[in-house]
Homo-oligomer: A and B are copies of this chain.
Amino acid sequence: MNPARKMVYGFGGGGADGDASLRNLLGGKGANLAEMARLGLPVPPGFTITTEVCTWFVAHDGAFPEGLEAQVHEAVAALERQLGKRFGDEENPLLVSVRSGARVSMPGMMDTVLNLGLNDRTVEGLARAAGDRRFAFDAYRRFIAMYGDVVLEIGAETKTDHDPFDERLERLKRERGVQHDFELAAEDLERLVADYKQLVVERTGAPFPDDPWEQLWGAVRAVFRSWDNPRAKEYRRMYHIPDEWGTAVNVQAMVFGNLGEDCATGVAFTRDPATGEKRIFGEFLVNAQGEDVVAGIRTPQPISLAQAGGDASARPLEVVMPEAYAQLLEIAHRLEQHYKDMQDVEFTIERGTLYMLQTRAGKRTGLAAVVIATDMVDEGLIDPKTAVLRIEADAMEHLLAPIFSADELREAEKSGRLLARGLPAGPGAATGSVVFHADDAKRLAAEGRDVILVRNETSPEDVGGMKAARGVVTARGGMTSHAALVARQMGKPCVVGCSALEIDYKQALIRIGDRVVREGDPISIDGVTGRVFEGTMTPHPSEVVQALVEGTRDLASSDIARRYARLLEWADEFRRLGVRTNADTPEQSREAVALGAEGIGLCRTEHMFFEGNRVTSVRRMILADDEAGRRAALSELLPMQREDFKGIFRAMGGRPVTIRTLDPPLHEFLPHGEQEIDALAAELGVPRDTLAAKIESLAEANPMLGHRGCRLGNTYPEITEMQARAILEAACEVAAEGVAVHPEIMIPLVGHREELARQRAIVERVATQVFAEQGREVDYLVGTMIELPRAALTADEIAGEAEFFSYGTNDLTQTTFGLSRDDAGKFLPFYIETGILPADPFQTLDQEGVGQLLEIGVRKGRSTRPELKIGICGEHGGDPRSIEFAHRVGLDYVSCSPRRLPVARVAAAQAALREAQA
């Protein structure tokens, strides 16, 4: 790096070298400190070492660039001039804090060292200057402990050990017979300091550094090093933060909240981060230093009287330091006006004077996000575009989940009712009796019982049971297992991958360590955090669901539902991408329409095959020896499928409905257990062995790559014929009712143009017949899923036969990676944890690989048919980052489960708005 390059940016005293726009260079904390200084807010002066220095440091094995030392010396000298103190001065020493600060807030890195600059001599100066020897040694022992911990890395030696500094403090308190730190006298603390320094010698083989400059450089180095520690790296991986960003270091003159009863330190949000309410919210401690608030040793006090429920005995800041409180309110207001967002601030009050140590956009719940965004539009602070951009799209779904109250959850965990943790696969909360089999779930639910279906994993046979259950728990499987996918589409609370559960189906019980939960016992699951509890709890549908989905609450009566709807209206104005839903039933369709679906992007006909006793006809069809037998069974299914489609067409009221023809391999519809095979043999009147042999002959080594999709429709054209007939007859009949109908018949798993051509020919032939029979025509399209690499690569060919494409990104991800969703549990989590893969490709579209196929398919498909309609109907259709990609490559729509629709609408709007910004 050029030594003349500016590596150090000063702030404080009513001005700063940098400002908020330099976030990339100064980190969030440094940029905002500079910005606050420029605004004239009371910020203790200091300086920021840039992220560029960190990047250079990492690239050069921990060396500092030439020129840095001089610039830091100059910045410290400026501080000294401004404050009239000197770094290392034995009379009136300048003390500083050292904090990391990356472009985005990032846990896992070295956080803070306070009181840096103290040693055996300066501590005496501090004691004199403050007129408080106890305070000075308290600061000194805190400094050694923090520095020892984060810079010298002196920690517990084994997992069961306590922190060694804490241990020594506790020992001293026991010796002195006191309970609290503040009961220790100055001489006690002095002894503790000596004790601490002895510990440092023992553990590092060197004395504690008493040169303030050595202390400062050690702390800077520790911050930079911590950029690459495992926790920080993992966090970056999870949140897709590039390694190259680096962190800045903020060095700032100390102010003290622990100089007496007119001192304090605290944190505050400018609005309530849980509810979004427009009032300051936070907590503080009198006579304390920053970390005391977090440490939880003393109970902090609320900021405002309102926050304390009007109870002045809670000693809110508003009551105990009304002037500082007024000043804080004023600053909070200025910060919001300036940043146009809710802020999360840190402050210290030294002898009655308020100092601001940090400001940043405050994290908030989904509920608060919606409230704050809409409020700020009404306040004229932001425009609707900013409001939409401000929402984390995923949060839109949180407002739809049924919920347990936070109190109840806390209580349950405290009383030892937590059974297992797993992955939060389906949102919301549910409670009910344990059942292990889908049939039991259906039977008991029919009797009005609330049940939770608990299985090692689920299969399509379990869909009915999952629907009947209040919630689903699996011991195996990941976020994209069958259980997770189906549950999310159903909006069903679901926790998957609870590996602590050992399910014994035979004895009908679950073992968790030495605890046992039996069939029929009540459990409760929290799909938001992925926890399973013993016993019953009380879930409630959210207000938004009551008002927008269930219609059990008047929209006018729900402030939050109105705000939610308003945000979605804005999003709809801004987005270009269409939004459809994956829905297989009229109920799902109605829910989806309520949540903004502009059509159905994927209706899976096979899910209907499990309804009621249809599966018997399906099985008869599968087991038929010849086409005639298959046709006979199919003719039983025809009227049922037709009614299904009529229900869906009516529910969708004129919106396009994409219906996929039969996709899964036929063996998925057959029973595998001994008893079930016996029962089916009896039902069908065929010898048991014949049936078992037939089932065996349909088994496949790799069903994912087997006889499924259009391969079924091509080998058994009569299946496609029946389905096309059911769709088109339903369309004609509903059209006759005066409802517009736009069926789009989608052929799955096409890899070669000719596969589609033949299926298309069948559909067209059936259409001609049906229209003649019904004396009525309806518009319909024939298109295909693009879910095989070959389909994307030959999209120009396939577009010759297809009026639309729908990317089945689940299967496309499986084939592009050669990765079975069902089996990935054995290594995919490890791959993601250890950074071999940057993210789970089933959750977030792999833009680098699978994305190339999307782009190729769009380009080639439109080269043949420029008007080709292209959507996405995999799980990625509801993932915000994937939606942004879909927008960017020019898709026409995304399709997702009903409850993801609000997410998709917001994400689509954000994609359009960000594109316009760029």
Contacts and interface: CB of A to CB of B under 8 A. Distances in A.
Interface stretch (A119-127, A580-588, A842-850): A842-850
A812 to B, nearest CB: 9
Contacts of A836: 714, 752, 754-755, 758
A707 B846 CA distance: 20
A723 interface: no
B700 A849 contact: no
Contact of A788 (B818, B823, B835): B818
A830 interface: yes
A701 B822 contact: yes
A815 B789 contact: yes
Q: Which of A714, A788, A817, A823 has the most CB of B within 10 A?
A: A823
Contacts of A706: 820, 823, 826
Contacts of A751: 816-819, 849
A596 to B, nearest CB: 33
A138 interface: no
A707 B818 CA distance: 10
A468 interface: no
A811 interface: yes
Interface string A816-856: 11111011001100110001110000000010111011000
Interface in A779-801: 787-790, 793-794, 797
Given A751-B818, A789-B789, A815-B789, A827 B714 contact: yes
Given A789-B853, A849-B790, A814 B705 contact: yes
A703 interface: yes
Given A707-B823, A815-B789, A816-B793, A837 B701 contact: no
Contacts of A846: 790
A755 B849 CA distance: 14
Contacts of A630: none
Given A705-B823, A711-B827, A758-B836, A817 B793 contact: no
A844 to B, nearest CB: 14
Contacts of A789: 789, 815-816, 818, 849, 853
A2 interface: no
A462 to B, nearest CB: 15
Contacts of A735: none
A852 B814 CA distance: 19
A160 interface: no
A704 interface: yes
A752 B837 contact: yes
A158 interface: no
A783 B601 CA distance: 42
A749 interface: yes
A715 interface: yes
Interface string A727-753: 000000000000000000000010110
A415 interface: no
A853 B853 CA distance: 11
A814 B818 CA distance: 9
A917 interface: no
A179 interface: no
Contacts of A818: 704-705, 749, 751, 787-790, 811, 815
Contacts of A613: none
Given A700-B822, A751-B819, A754-B835, 5 more contacts: A701-B703, A701-B823, A704-B818, A754-B836, A815-B816
